[in-house]
Each structure stands twice: as C-alpha cells, then as structure tokens.
Amino acid sequence: MTRILALALALLAFAVQPALAGFLVNSYVFATSGAAAATISFLQCSTDTGNLTTYTFTATNVGTASSDRVTFIGVVLEDSASAYTVSTVTVGGDSATSIVDQGGTNVSNTAIFALANPSGTSEDIVVTASEAVTMAGICVWSSTGVQSLTPVATANNNDASAQSMSVSINTQTDGVAMGICTSSQNNQTHTWTGLTERSDQFSGENAFSSADLTVSSGSTPLSVTCDPTGSAASSAVAASFR
C-alpha cells in the first residue's frame, strides 16, 4: 500500500508540474510564480524632416539580442494638419503593434509601438504616417522580462499651448513604463514627473523628449506629467507593461 501511495503521489506531481510553471492566455505565457522582473533600457532617438509619408531610420540600435527581448518605439510626427495618425511601424521588416496613438489633435502627434524582437542588434525602423508629414522622430527602448504585450495601461494627452500634460497610468510591480512627449517649437526642453527623462531631441521642426521607468512597486495610478518649456502645440503618450 505504501508503494502504491508513493507511486500515485509521484505521478500526480509530474502531471501538475507544467501547470505550476505558467498558464496560457491569448498566446502569451504568464508565469504564476517566480517570474523575473522586467527591465528597460533606453537606446537612442533619431529625427528626419523629409516631408514624407514614410520615413526610414536606417541601422537603428535595437540592443542586445535575447529570446525575451521586446523593442518599444516611441514615435513623434509633426504637420500642419489637425488630425493624423501613425499607420504602421516595422522593425527589420517585422510589423510592430500599435499600443497608443494620440492622433495629432494639435499639429503634433505621439505614439508608442511594440514588437517581440529576439534577434538582431541593428535594424531599419520604418514609420508610415496616415498622410505626408513635415517631420518624424523615433525613440527606442529594449526590454526583457515583459510578460505580455497587452499593456497594463495607456494614456494620451495634448495641449494647444504646451501646458503641462498629464499621462498618468496604472503600473504593476516588476513591470516597466515609458513615455514620449513633443512640442511644436524647436529647442524646447521638457520636464517629466513620474518617469525618468532619457532624452531631449531637437529636429529643426519641433522638440521631443523620452522617459521610462523600471517599476519596483506598482501604483494605481502612477502620476506622470510632461511639461514643455515653450508655448506651442504639444502631445504626449505613456504606457506600462508587466
């Protein structure tokens, strides 16, 4: 009897082992315990003032290859139109997913895209707008340990005169967050709260800034603002992931 009981317990432990490792939701595996904390690394920003619909940022740094690497792309567009969007973003020919797009309400537009991107270190990033725009810019992050490309939260905002914009978002412990902000006036700087500023970029057409955070303790919400120094039309977006 003792041998039979021991054998039954061993078989039961073997049967449930895969279930303890994680569960499957919408094609993403979520760890049920012991999942590593996500990390995020800012890599670079680039600009182009070509008056184009499609912009190609050649040989962009996408970081160190890793089986769980995610590439996040913050996109900035500038045009005189009152409403336009980012149609597509590709990284090395692969289509990234649109996470949030402010929609170009006040001349400037911002958006965030994401792609599971395990291989490559330098790739062309191609941004296509819904119409020809006077400039495009990108900021790029590399992240590992993200459990799903479905965001925990997103936020977007705009202002006609570059007032401080709130893009507060819920965050989860061991997750990551990022944001991008622009104003339709060159040589402006930006002040972030809630996220750590990584760049201020000037294109000749406008100025934009990026920021991010490795989340040590989740917030509901995390107060996030971006405040340009000037008085031109502005736009901001933010997103968080676990």
Model pLDDT for residues 124-170, shown as the tens digit of each residue: 999 999 999 999 999 999 999 999 999 999 999 998 876 889 999 99
Q: DSSP character for 167?
A: -
Whole-angstrom distance, CA of residue 185 vs CA of residue 204 = 8
Q: What angle do CA 26, 214, 164 make, to 5 degrees?
A: 100
Model pLDDT for residues 86-132, shown as the tens digit of each residue: 999 999 999 999 999 998 777 899 999 999 999 999 999 999 999 99
pTM for the whole thing? 0.86
Confidence label for 31 from pLDDT (cuts 50, 70 and 90): very low
Model pLDDT for residues 122-135, shown as the tens digit of each residue: 999 999 999 999 99
pLDDT of residue 160: 80
Chain centroid to Cα 135, Å, comes to: 20
pLDDT of residue 5: 40
Whole-angstrom distance, CA of residue 218 vs CA of residue 215 = 6
* Sheet arrangement for strand 122-133: 52-61, 122-133, 86-91, 94-95
Helices (H) and strands (E) in the chain, counts: 1, 19
pLDDT of residue 87: 97
Chain centroid to Cα 14, Å, comes to: 39
In this model, does residue 14 exceed pLDDT 80?
A: no
pLDDT of residue 18: 39
Select the more confidently predicted residue: 88 or 15.
Answer: 88
Structural contact between residues 140 and 123, judged by C-beta atoms closer than 8 angstroms = no
Residues 6+ away with beta carbon under 8 Å from 48: 55, 57, 135, 136, 137, 203
Quick one: which of 182, 227, 231 has its CA closest to 79?
Answer: 182
